[in-house]
Amino acid sequence: GPLRERPLLEVRLGELHTWISTCDFSPQGLLGAAHRAWSSYCAKYIHVRQGGAPGISMLLAGYCLLSYGWNYQHLKQHRWRKYH
């Protein structure tokens, strides 16, 4: 099919620059890309016939990493140090 309609994992390395230039970087295009990514995540890990813990655990791990990143400066200042 056309290069624009291919998912990222099906794009060859030589075609990557052309594929990126065909992407829509407007706010509506970025919102649509985020919606497609969330829908594919849900279809693959959440809304499956025999669902398990991987989808929920990945979501929880992502939240933990994001929360740690947000609080890093606060945590960095309150470390125990032997010498001040």
The domain in which residue 36 lies consists of 13-77
Q: How many domains does the chain have?
A: 1
pLDDT in tens, 24-38: 889 998 999 899 889
Is residue 64 a part of any domain in this protein? yes
State the pTM of this model: 0.53
Is residue 40 a part of any domain in this protein? yes
pLDDT exceeds cutoff 70 at 9 = yes
Split at pLDDT 50, 70, 90, the class of 83 is low
Split at pLDDT 50, 70, 90, the class of 82 is low
**How many other C-beta atoms can be found within 10 angstroms of the C-beta atom of residue 6?**
14
Q: What is the pLDDT of residue 57?
A: 87
Is residue 58 a part of any domain in this protein? yes
Assess contact for 19 and 6: CB atoms under 8 A. Answer: yes
Residue 70's Cα: distance from chain center in Å?
17
pLDDT exceeds cutoff 80 at 78 = no
Is residue 33 a part of any domain in this protein? yes
Is residue 42 a part of any domain in this protein? yes
C-alpha to C-alpha distance for 57 and 80, rounded to whole angstroms = 30
